[in-house]
A and B are shown apart, each in its own frame.
Chain A
């Protein structure tokens, strides 16, 4: 039994975000972080490892510097890293990305008692599509928005969160579960872990490693193979600065209430 976790290195959109004049993101000037929901998936994997002693393998697709993120995860307790990286994979939308990661996971091998964990969504795109689409390409059942995971033998019982409550879902392995922040609190990396991280196996799967997989076809990967394309990108308009009311006393609030009343807003 092993646990595969899919992770993504993303620009930290909570900090300052720089936009190029042409409306694209100036990634070079931004900090990168491990996608927050993915950290919950990693923690869920490590908890199962603590309990069952199984191996945890992290998969990521991205440029070579993403290796640093895999080492960081190894310092937390992940046993092995796979970096899926090739120029041919660049510009992939969620469909093409899922296809490539599914091919990589399938090439590595999925056993009957394996679990694949992913974050619900990445903060750069916020799509939540790659997890389910990997599951579809691997013909595995999925449970998204997991707020609680219990394992008994090869059966998982998952609390799947809804806007107005939750569902309890039973699913057998192998399966894909996507994780949300309510699931757990990610652990910190340990000093000992940081030392060990560099002796753990890390492999790179490039285009050559995957090109013969049935899911990989030049017409279904990368920018050209992606079903969706960006037509235009732009920054939202800056709304004109409104009225700053003078003062911070009863006169000020009276004025505001007066304006709202005169506009029939209240």
Chain B
């Protein structure tokens, strides 16, 4: 540990950092979302945006981060960093943070980010906010976000604080209690302010080759020995089945408990509609819990957050956990037998009826509408 490191010495910290997660030498797509968001925060603070990339011989994938807005990328290469280990990654990140003192440090809320970030925060003695869906430094931007993103009467509220500078501190907003409540968290007394960010939520910028060519690649000195890593990775196995790409999909057709009378038939109909739209099949938690469909299809607070162009909810009642993951879709179509189902509260277009009857008709109607264009 750097002898002079004190997480409470706020003035000593500067710049925004993003942990750039790669697996098997391939950058995780969330990293580009985080770099894009980090650029916004760095601009609001008037500081630099830096990526920190750990791996074995990963210089080749560092430059692309510049194209999304990184000014610098700190690259730490070691055979001991080839596969992710909690101990190895925590040590290198914590040591580098203690040396270079960023004021903000972001991670993707992946299964790896959510393993690594809490461990780093505990060692650095600083705060960490999990699974953020919105980040602001600038207070006006935050208030504008609340204007549409909350039910608060923002014009009659005070945002001042005697305890900290509300205009300089990172405001980290996240869902809590299964999406029933949103909370904005601050970390005013310690640095870096740390957050994990839900994959699929932040918008990726347009890639700029000229910026990529300007990015500065730096190799900070670090120490890591085999004894520092207490776990051993025996193997890394990629799922044989192709996982459904909900986050990147423009069209999602999701199924819920409403398919229970004919599970196979219901999923088949959803697949047919998804195919007609050029999209993929999603699901509510109920279907995953019942074992009808694999967990990679799950949309919602404990599944994935999606914002496709069109989200079709078939036989999904619309529990708040589900809505938390899909309500920001551009257009929501709901089909449900129960006209009081909460899903209709967020739907742009609702049809009250039996999905087994409606979906085949809808597929025909869409085919006809496309043909007529």
Q: Is B a genuine binding partner of A?
A: yes
List 22 contacting pairs A-B, 8 Å CB cutoff, sorted by A. Answer: A14-B319, A25-B180, A94-B130, A95-B128, A126-B302, A128-B118, A132-B118, A136-B118, A137-B122, A145-B111, A162-B111, A227-B121, A231-B184, A231-B186, A235-B180, A237-B149, A256-B362, A257-B362, A258-B365, A260-B310, A265-B331, A266-B369
Q: Nearest CB to that of A93 among chain B residues?
A: B127
Which B residues touch A238, using CB under 8 A?
A: 151, 345
Known interface pairs A98-B122, A236-B327. Does A13 touch B321 (Cβ–Cβ under 8 Å)? yes
Determine if B344 is an interface residue (Cβ-Cβ < 8 Å). Answer: yes
Which B residues touch A135, using CB under 8 A?
A: 119
B111 touches A163 (CB 8 A): yes
Q: Nearest CB to that of B363 among chain A residues?
A: A253
CB proximity of B292 to chain A, nearest CB, Å: 15
A162 touches B112 (CB 8 A): yes
Q: Nearest CB to that of B86 among chain A residues?
A: A142
Cα of A33 to Cα of B190 in the assembled complex, Å: 34
Cα of A163 to Cα of B239 in the assembled complex, Å: 9
CB proximity of B89 to chain A, nearest CB, Å: 12
CB proximity of A202 to chain B, nearest CB, Å: 28
Against B, the Cβ 8 Å flags (1 = close, 0 = not) of A151-190 are: 0000001001111111111111001000000100000000
Comparing B12-20, B63-71, B171-179, the segment that makes contact with chain A is B171-179
Determine if B264 is an interface residue (Cβ-Cβ < 8 Å). Answer: no
Comparing B36-44, B45-53, B352-360, the segment that makes contact with chain A is B352-360
Determine if A124 is an interface residue (Cβ-Cβ < 8 Å). Answer: yes
Do most interface residues of chain A lie in helix, strand or loop, or is the interface mixed?
mixed
Do most interface residues of chain B lie in helix, strand or loop, or is the interface mixed?
mixed
Cα of A230 to Cα of B233 in the assembled complex, Å: 38
B183 touches A230 (CB 8 A): yes
Which B residues touch A142, using CB under 8 A?
A: 86, 115, 119
Determine if A119 is an interface residue (Cβ-Cβ < 8 Å). Answer: no
Which B residues touch A229, using CB under 8 A?
A: 185-188
Determine if A209 is an interface residue (Cβ-Cβ < 8 Å). Answer: no
Which A residues touch B86, using CB under 8 A?
A: 132, 141-144
Which A residues touch B231, using CB under 8 A?
A: 141, 143, 169-171
CB proximity of A131 to chain B, nearest CB, Å: 8
Cα of A67 to Cα of B243 in the assembled complex, Å: 42
Binding site for A on B (CB under 8 A): 23, 83-84, 86-87, 90, 110-112, 114-115, 117-119, 121-123, 125-131, 146, 148-152, 161, 166, 171, 175-190, 230-239, 243, 277, 295-296, 301-302, 309-310, 319-321, 324, 327, 330-333, 339, 344-354, 357-358, 361-362, 364-366, 368-370, 372-373
Which A residues touch B339, using CB under 8 A?
A: 244
Which A residues touch B236, using CB under 8 A?
A: 165-167
Determine if A232 is an interface residue (Cβ-Cβ < 8 Å). Answer: yes
CB proximity of A210 to chain B, nearest CB, Å: 18
Q: Considering the complex of A and B, which 4 residue pairs feature the smallest CB-CB distances, nearest first?
A: A248-B353, A227-B127, A13-B178, A228-B127
CB proximity of B234 to chain A, nearest CB, Å: 4
Cα of A125 to Cα of B319 in the assembled complex, Å: 17
Interface residue ranges of A6-31 to B (CB < 8 Å): 11, 13-14, 17, 19, 23-25
B238 touches A165 (CB 8 A): yes
Determine if A241 is an interface residue (Cβ-Cβ < 8 Å). Answer: yes
CB proximity of A243 to chain B, nearest CB, Å: 5
Determine if A60 is an interface residue (Cβ-Cβ < 8 Å). Answer: no
Known interface pairs A95-B128, A248-B353, A261-B373. Does A170 touch B234 (Cβ–Cβ under 8 Å)? yes
Q: Nearest CB to that of A143 among chain B residues?
A: B231
B151 touches A132 (CB 8 A): no
Query: How many chain-A residues does the 8 Å CB contact rule pick out?
Result: 83
Listed residue (A130, A131, A242) with the most chain B CB atoms within 10 angstroms of its CB:
A242
B118 touches A228 (CB 8 A): no
Determine if A233 is an interface residue (Cβ-Cβ < 8 Å). Answer: yes
A227 touches B190 (CB 8 A): yes
Which B residues touch A51, using CB under 8 A?
A: none
Which B residues touch A95, using CB under 8 A?
A: 121-122, 125-128
B364 touches A169 (CB 8 A): no
Known interface pairs A235-B150, A248-B354, A266-B366. Does A132 touch B184 (Cβ–Cβ under 8 Å)? no
CB proximity of B38 to chain A, nearest CB, Å: 19
Across the interface, A242 reaches (CB within 8 A) one of B118, B237, B344, B370, namely B344
Cα of A127 to Cα of B233 in the assembled complex, Å: 25
Which A residues touch B302, using CB under 8 A?
A: 126
Which B residues touch A243, using CB under 8 A?
A: 348-350
A236 touches B150 (CB 8 A): yes
Determine if A239 is an interface residue (Cβ-Cβ < 8 Å). Answer: yes
Which A residues touch B348, using CB under 8 A?
A: 242-243
B332 touches A233 (CB 8 A): no
A244 touches B352 (CB 8 A): yes
A133 touches B119 (CB 8 A): yes
Q: Nearest CB to that of A234 among chain B residues?
A: B150
Listed residue (B149, B151, B296, B373) with the most chain A CB atoms within 10 angstroms of its CB:
B151
CB proximity of A67 to chain B, nearest CB, Å: 23
Q: Nearest CB to that of A160 among chain B residues?
A: B111
B350 touches A124 (CB 8 A): no
Q: Nearest CB to that of B7 among chain A residues?
A: A227
